Chains A and B, each alone.
Chain A
Amino acid sequence: MTSGIDGLQPSMEFGWRSGLSPLMRAGFGSWWTTKQWWINALLWTAVINGSVAVAVWGDAPDELDAYTLYGVMTMFGAIAVAVLMQDTVVGEKLSGTAAWVLSKPASRSAFMLSKLVPNAVGVVATMIAIPSAVFMVQLVLADVGVSADRFVLGACVAALNLMFYLTLTLMLGTLFDTAAAVIAIPLAFAFGQQLLGGIPGLIPLLPWALVVPVDGSDTSVVSAVMTGQSIATPGAIAVAAFCCVGFTIVAFRAWSRTEL
C-alpha cells in the first residue's frame, strides 16, 4: 500500500479562515472556469448597450437619456442577480453539497465568504464592468464628453444596487429552505418598490432610486453621478449600503446556526 500523503504540507488555515482557500478557488472557478462568465458578459453587454445605443446614436442623441437608460437597464441585472443567486445557498443546503463541504475542516464563515465574494466579483464584472466599458466606448465614439471618474463612480452606484439584491438573496438563502421564497421576495421587492410611491418620503430612500428617476426628478442617482448633477436622492445610497452590510451580517449569523 503506497500513500501519496507523505511529503504533503498540511494546510495551516485555522479559525474562520479554515478552508477559505479551496472554497474561494471553487467559488471563483464556478464563474471563470465555466461558460457562466462569458454568457452573462455577452448578455448584459448586449442588453445594456443595445438599449443605450438608441439614445447615443439615435436621431436626437441625448446624453442624459443615455445615462438614465443605462441606470434603468442595470435594474434588470439586479433581477438577474436574484435569479442567479437563488440556488447558491438553498441549492447547496438541499442537495447536500453544503453538508459535504462543511464535513471538511472548513468554517461556516469561509463557506459564506466563498458565496459572497466570488459571486459579487462575477456579477459586478459581467453585469456592470464589462457592459459599462463598452458603454463608455460608445460615448467616446459618439463624441459625448465623459468624465472617467464620474463614470466609474456612477457604475459603482449601479453595482451597489446589484449588491443589494445579491446580499438580500444570500441572506434569504440562509433563512429559508425553499428556492421559491428566496426568489419571490427579492423579485416582489424589486417590482413592488414602485407601488410604495404613495408613502411620503419612502421611495427616495429605496434602492430603486439608485437607478430609476423618482419623485418627478429627471435623474436617478446613477445618471446624476455620471453627469455631474446634484443627487436628488442621496439617502438611497446610504440605505442600500446599510442594507448590504445588514443582510450580510444576518446571513453569516444565520448560517453559523444552520443545521445541515
Chain B
Amino acid sequence: MQEGAGEKEERRFRSVAPSPALTNLNIGPQSAHTCSMDAPGPPSEDLAIRTRRLTKTYGDTNVVDGLDLVVPRNSVFGFLGPNGAGKTTTMKMLLGLIRPSSGSGSVYGLDIVDESPAVRRRIGYLPQDPKFYGHMTARETLRFAARFFFIGPQDGIDLRVSEMLELVGLSEKDDRPVRTFSGGEMQRLGIAQAQIHKPDLLILDEPAAALDPLGRRDVLAILDRLREDSTVFYSTHILDDVQRVSDAVCILREGRVAAQGSIAEVLAGNENTTYEVQAHGDLDRAKGLLETEAWVDAVAIEGDHSSGTLRIRVSDNDQAELHLQRRLLADESLVISEFKQLKPNLEDVFVSIVEGATDDERD
C-alpha cells in the first residue's frame, strides 16, 4: 500500500470504461433507469453486494423501499442520491447496524442479518462523520481497529498500522490524540482504519465530504489504488468525482433505485438529450417550428434572437437524429455555423432524475 508522494502526484485516474466484471453481469441497459422489483442476475456469491427488495420502514415512511442493488466484485461503485434518499440507511443495513424491515441482502454471498459478524470481517467502513475514541492517538486507534481482525504478532500489526498512516499522510501525526484532529485528518484516519485489514469490500459514506480540494484528490487517488484488491462502495454528492473514478453507479430516489448500471449505461439511459445549434437568422421562427415536434421537449435561445445559440432538449433522441437537422436545414432563412449533440454528464442525469421526481410530485 505504500507509495511515495511523487508517485501519488503523478497517478492518473482510470477512464470510466465499464469493468470486465460489470460487463459480464446482467445489469445492462434494461436495468438502468429502472426500478426492478425482482431483478434477475448472477448468483449472489459472484457479487460483492446483492440486495433483494431490501426495505427499512420507520413509522409510515419507507426510508429504503424495495431496494435491488447489484454491486460487482472489484468495482468502484458510486451510491448516489439526494439527502434523505436512504444511502446511509442502506449502508448501515449492510453492516448490521440497522435491521431491515423486509427483504434480504448479501455481501459476498453472506446474509447481512444471519451472518453479520462474518460479513463485517470482510468489510471496512468509513462513517459519514467519523468519530473515534478521543483519548487514543491515531496509532492507537489503528491498533485498536486492527485487533478486531488480527491477534498478532505485534510487530506485524505495527507494520500494518505504519503503512496505513503513510497511505493517508498521517505518519507525522501518529502520536497526537484523535480529539485534536481536524475534520480532514479524521476523514483520513477513517480511511486508514477502514482499510487496516485489507477488506474485500470498502463501504465509504461520503469519504471526501470534509476534505479540501487537495485532500479530495488524494482520497480519489486512494480509491483508485484500492480497486486492485477491493470493491469500493461509496456515497458522495460530488458527481464529478464519481464520473472520474467509478465503474458503476446506483442513483437512489426516495429509497428506490432510480438508475443503476455502469457509468456509460446510466449516461446512455438519460432520456433527455440536448443539442446545441449556433445559427444566424430568425431564431424565434426556428424555435416555434421545433416546438411543434412531439420529440422536442424544450427549445431555448441563448444570445441575440437573430444570431445566437438554440439549445434543443429532445425526449426521443432516435427521432431527433433522424429529423432535427432536416428540420433546421429546411428553414432557408437559417444559416447554421455549428451543430452538436451535448454529451450528458452524470450531474445532468442526476438532476434530471431528482427533478423528475419533484415534477412528478407536483403533477
Q: Give A107's nearest chain B residue, CB to CB.
A: B117
Interface size class for chain A?
35 or more
- Could you tell me the distance between the alpha carbons of A46 and B99 in the complex, rounded to whole angstroms? 48
- Are B198 and A260 in touch, CB under 8 angstroms? no
Known: A34-B135, A103-B97. A8 touches B157 (CB 8 A): yes
> What's the least CB distance linking A123 to chain B, in Å?
18
- Are A11 and B127 in touch, CB under 8 angstroms? no
Q: Which residues from 306 to 350 on chain B have a C-beta closer than 8 Å to any C-beta of chain A?
A: none
- Are B148 and A105 in touch, CB under 8 angstroms? yes
- Are A96 and B163 in touch, CB under 8 angstroms? no
Residue count of chain B within 8 Å CB distance of chain A: 43
- Are A95 and B1 in touch, CB under 8 angstroms? no
- Residues in A whose Cβ lies below 8 Å from that of B161: 4
Q: Which residues from 230 to 247 on chain B have a C-beta closer than 8 Å to any C-beta of chain A?
A: none
- Are A1 and B132 in touch, CB under 8 angstroms? no
- Are B117 and A96 in touch, CB under 8 angstroms? no
- Are A21 and B147 in touch, CB under 8 angstroms? yes
| A2 in the interface (beta carbon within 8 A) | yes
Known: A96-B130, A259-B97. A4 touches B148 (CB 8 A): no
- Are B148 and A97 in touch, CB under 8 angstroms? no
| B103 in the interface (beta carbon within 8 A) | no
Known: A5-B160, A5-B197. A100 touches B147 (CB 8 A): no
> What's the least CB distance linking A48 to chain B, in Å?
27
Q: Give A12's nearest chain B residue, CB to CB.
A: B151
> What's the least CB distance linking B161 to chain A, in Å?
8
- Could you tell me the distance between the alpha carbons of A61 and B68 in the complex, rounded to whole angstroms? 78
Known: A2-B2, A100-B127, A103-B97. A26 touches B133 (CB 8 A): yes
- Residues in A whose Cβ lies below 8 Å from that of B92: 99, 259-260
| B150 in the interface (beta carbon within 8 A) | yes
Binding site for B on A (CB under 8 A): 1-5, 7-12, 14-15, 18-19, 21-22, 25-26, 29-30, 33-34, 95-97, 99-100, 102-107, 257, 259-260
The 8 closest A-B pairs by CB, nearest first: A4-B160, A22-B147, A103-B125, A104-B148, A4-B159, A8-B150, A260-B97, A96-B131
